[in-house]
Amino acid sequence: MASDDDCYDYEYDYDEDEEEEEEAMEADEDGLFEDDTPMPDRPADCWAITQESLSTAQQQDLSMVMNLLNVKQHNARALLIHHRWKIDCIYDHLDRKGRDRMFREAGIVLQENINGKALPSRVVNCMVCFDEFSVGAVSIMECGHYFCNDCWTEHFKASVDSGKKQIRCMGVKCPVVCDEAVVQQLLAGKYPDAARRFDRFLLESYLENNESVKWCPSVPHCGRAIRVGAGERYTEVECPCGLGFCFACAAAAHSPCPCTMWDMWEVKCNGESETVNWILANTKSCPKCFKPIVKDGGCNLVTCKCGQHLCWKCGGATGFAHNWDSIDGHSCNRFVGEEKKKVDNAKRNLHRYTHYYDRFKIHGDSHKLEHDMLGPAIDERVKVLEALRDQSLIQDASWLTEAHRGLLQSRQVLSRSYVFAYYMFGDDDKVRTWPANRHSLPIAQGLFENYQEELESNVERLSKVLATEYGPVPDEDDVRRDKQNAMNLTKIVQTRCGEIYKCIQDELLPLLLDPMIIAAYRPRGPDKAKEFTA
């Protein structure tokens, strides 16, 4: 069986020659690198499902299982829900466990396995209400248990009211899932609203119990759900509404940073942890009222608003008599070692956080400017060049759009790589390395930081090339030069991005005690979901 991890292995062919960049810059001026630009593995198979196409998408999977196992629709649905709609798991369990055991674990009993298929007589006793009923007023499930239709109906109504999508038999400790056709038929006669809700539950089970389908997290909601192929849970997708997100955690796309690190980063940036670090590093607590005090100059005697005097060096309460060098009757040689260690750690952590956060934010801000301001300028430049197509040797301007797309994607990779570095090379308790692998970390860190530095340098160069403005009639030599430089630099930044992803996947993540996974690198950004047609 294909495991969820199968899709996380990606290949990215890149030239490790140190002279690669120089060779690329010497390429022919018209080379757009379509043939030799390194590309990742195939895009993920992803579809956008709307309310209108939901039933068709669900029926597609149901029909596949019904045809495979020759079972009714409600049995196919029970199997799929039990296996979280993973058809590959059904294949695997069928092979390893056998048909009967697989059905039994999913609460399915097939008709051919029932000893008594018919009711014992024309008049039977309901074992819930203990009244007598004719055969026509009684329903029997595939497990062989039978009860009057009134009791079944009330059981179904109570189950729907409690939100159950799979209604099990009323028999004592019976795990069998009731035939959904019987449920719908009995509910429709007495509780039509409950019948409609049950129909909706069956549809929604495809979304809520399916590891391969998730709602688009857009706000306001676009009404679509995204379905990915088997084993492609760790991928980044773009809904037709334009929102790109991580399919695994439903957060904004964040590779090459794993979901766990990204979640911690968002909590850290939006929370109060760094505020606490700043307070510890830059303030002293008044020994009387315990409010934090900031010292902005002067000597080491500080007076709180409450009137308490204290020594800034150690935070201890003192009298007022003092000179510039000392405080009467007070000595700092009794300073508590643990207190100093705590303050030093807070200062170091704050400095380290600031280092990585600044770079994360700088590249994030640059991405926004290059998207919001450079993007429209690129579009105008394309129009100018396209208008001159018949009057010059300039054949097309698509290289501008491609280079701009490469710039935006590599800028995001660069920004997020600092989040990964903050946790990977820090001492956070939630990101631990195997003790036996710790000697390998500095080597892998050096490799990662070299790739990161090269990417940063070339991203800035590409941004500078794309920022070049043309006059009403651009000079053809200038355009050709910019085209060559832009396409060469686009190839270089894509290669560097691929190297960073490969370094993280192959060299760094294996060192962690708790496994983490990143989405595959896509030079064009998240995989675009196609509309699933009903």
Domains of the chain, residue spans: 6-39+358-518, 47-108+194-253+526-534, 110-190
Structure tokens at 422: 């903050």
Tell me how far apart the alpha carbons of residues 164 and 167 are, in angstroms, rounded to a whole number. 6
Between 229 and 314, the higher pLDDT residue: 229
Lowest-confidence pick of 34-48, 372-386, 449-463: 34-48
110-190 matches 6-39+358-518 in CATH topology: no
Catalytic residue check, 299: yes
Residue with tokens 């899709």: 7
Please provide the CATH number assigned to the domain covering 110-190. Answer: 3.30.40.10
Q: d(Cα 385, Cα 394) in Å, to the nearest integer?
A: 7
Cβ–Cβ under 8 Å, residues 238 and 260: no
Catalytic residue among 46, 169, 174, 299: 299
Q: Which of 412, 361, 401 is nearest to 490 (CA)?
A: 401
Helix, strand, coil share (%) of the chain residues, nearest 5: 50, 10, 40
Provide the β-strand partners of residue 214. 226
pLDDT at 329: 60
Tell me: pLDDT of 197 over 80.
yes
Per-residue pLDDT tens over the stretch 19-65:
444 444 444 444 443 333 344 455 668 999 998 898 899 999 999 99
pTM of the model: 0.75
Mean pLDDT for the stretch of residues 223-247:
90
Helix (H, G, I), strand (E, B) or coil at 140: strand
Q: What is the pLDDT of residues 350-374, one digit of tens each?
A: 888 888 988 999 999 999 999 999 9
DSSP states along 230-295: TT--S-EEE-TTS-EEETTT-SBP-TTS-HHHHHHHHHHHHSSHHHHHHHHHHEEE-TTT--EEE-
160-190 in b/e form (b: 16+ CB < 10 A) is: beeeebbbbbbeeebebbbbbebbbebbeee
Distance of CA 453 to CAs 414, 445, 456, 460, Å? 9, 12, 5, 11
- Stated as kind and residue range, the H or E segment containing 197 is helix 192-208
Mean pLDDT taken over the chain:
82
Rounded Cα distance between 453 and 437, Å, is 25
Predicted confidence (pLDDT) at residue 336 exceeds the cutoff of 60: no
Of the candidates 232, 216, 161, 234, which has an alpha carbon nearest to the alpha carbon of residue 51? 216
Closest CA to 155 of 102, 104, 194, 204: 194
Specify the pairing of strand 530-531 against strand 46-49: parallel
Q: Which numeric CATH code is attached to 6-39+358-518?
A: 1.20.120
Q: What is the pLDDT of residue 151?
A: 96
DSSP at 129: T
- Token readout for 333 is 């040689």
Q: How many CB atoms lie within 10 A of CB 436?
A: 8
